[in-house]
Amino acid sequence: MTGLSAIELEDVVKEYHSHGEVVQAVRGVTLGIEEGEFFSLLGPSGCGKTTTMRMIAGFEAPTKGVVRLHGQDVTGVPPNKRDINMVFQSYALFPHLSVWDNVAFGLRQRRTPKEEIDRRVGEMLEIVDLAERGRRMPRQLSGGQQQRVALARALVNRPRALLLDEPLGALDLKLRQAMQIELKRIQREVGITFVYVTHDQGEALTMSDRIAVMNDGVVEQLAGPREIYERPASAFVAGFIGTSNLLSGSATGGELAIGGGRVLVPGHDGDVTVTVRPEKITIGTDEPARDCSAVRGTVAEVVYLGTYNSYAVSLADGAEITVFQQNVHDATATAERGDSVWLSWRAQHSYVIGS
């Protein structure tokens, strides 16, 4: 990344009028996306992520605020005058045109010389690993291959930025996971700014340089994947990104009394909300050492999930904690339903939200 902002949103608001009421789909979003960055807008349905992307593309006009592309104010500029392309979940390939002709379509519309079309289409089909399938028709391709054709068609025009609106949503899980790696590889090769909209947390964590987590029209946290996962800025982010255990109470001397045990929160006193990830927790029958957080509970459920077991453990105060235990040696569960167990984790794995 060069440090030059490819896309900037400054205090952007989008309002709709519905049955005499004003509904704010996006509420004062300010963010910058760097040149060459893989940037994701992540959040549940209705959080404003697609509306935000559509304002970047020019398909929606902000009610308030400014949209800039490479430093230029494009708030009132129509989509066809913005040097960006968009890829949707529906591939929208021309069924009567070959793969080659689909990719070449935009260049032909621009009356690009034939020699340059041949060179650029050939290069792009190489990048998306479809060089041997240029003469095939879309119906002869798998879903993942069709998505790569749509991607090549968008990239061959060399836009300054590419917007992708849940482009993998129609693929099955295994193909979607493979395409996540492919998309990241392609983005690195072409060096173009990608802005990716998704509700899939794993997808965003896999591909993104940075993620804006949106909820109810606002950005709750903007950071790299590791920062968002390990240090969530709010209870919403902690709960939305992966699985998290949220524990609340009043801390005294850096210790929170929960479920007949203790949660260590060094340096904190008063009311706190703590998040701890399930994979950070150890489950066993022996009482842990004093330098660990430790709570006692009863196993309510055990679920075998192949690579790991998932435990739901009920504490005496009614709270429930989820624990993931990797199946390193075999698939045998450490504890069964009804067993009394200790849960423990290191102090640094208790993250106090808002700290």
Q: What are the start-end ranges of the E strands in 97-217?
A: 161-165, 193-198, 210-215
- Helices 173-190 and 143-155, axial angle in degrees (round to 10): 20
Cα 342 to Cα 283: distance, rounded to the nearest angstrom: 6
Structure tokens at 8: 């900037």
CATH assignment, 244-352: 2.40.50.140
CATH assignment, 5-236: 3.40.50.300
Q: Please identify every stretch of the chain with a pLDDT value under 70, giving residue numbers as ranges.
A: 1-4, 329-333, 355
Backbone angles phi, psi at 164, to 5 degrees: -125, 115
User: What per-residue confidence (pLDDT) applies to 46?
Assistant: 92
Structure tokens at 255: 């210790």
Cα 80 to Cα 85: distance, rounded to the nearest angstrom: 9
Cα 275 to Cα 232: distance, rounded to the nearest angstrom: 8
| Residue-wise pLDDT tens digits, 155-203 | 998 899 999 998 888 788 888 888 899 889 999 999 999 999 999 999 9
Q: Where in the chain is the domain with CATH 3.40.50.300?
A: 5-236
Cα 200 to Cα 223: distance, rounded to the nearest angstrom: 16
User: What per-residue confidence (pLDDT) applies to 286?
Assistant: 87
Structure tokens at 303: 């679920």
Provide the b/e sequence for 77-99 (b: ≥16 CB within 10 Å). eeeeebebbbbebebebeeeebb
Cα 25 to Cα 8: distance, rounded to the nearest angstrom: 18
Structure tokens at 36: 């060459």
Handedness of CA 199, 160, 85, 134 (dihedral sign): negative
Q: Are 132 and 122 in contact (CB under 8 A)?
A: no
Chain center to CA of 138:
29
Backbone angles phi, psi at 33, to 5 degrees: -115, 125
Cα 281 to Cα 256: distance, rounded to the nearest angstrom: 17
Cα 14 to Cα 52: distance, rounded to the nearest angstrom: 8
| 16 beta partners | 23
Q: Where in the chain is the domain with CATH 2.40.50.140?
A: 244-352
Structure tokens at 272: 């706190």
Cα 19 to Cα 253: distance, rounded to the nearest angstrom: 53
C-alpha separations of 196 from 138, 165, 235, 339 in Å = 24, 6, 23, 45
User: What per-residue confidence (pLDDT) applies to 329?
Assistant: 67
C-alpha separations of 118 from 100, 107, 138, 149, 325 in Å = 9, 10, 19, 16, 53
Of 256, 264, 343, 246, the closest CA to residue 299 belongs to 343
The length of the chain, given as a count of residues: 355
Read off the pTM: 0.89
CB-based contacts of 314, cutoff 8 Å, min separation 6: 297, 298, 300, 320
User: What per-residue confidence (pLDDT) applies to 4?
Assistant: 66
Cα 128 to Cα 147: distance, rounded to the nearest angstrom: 10
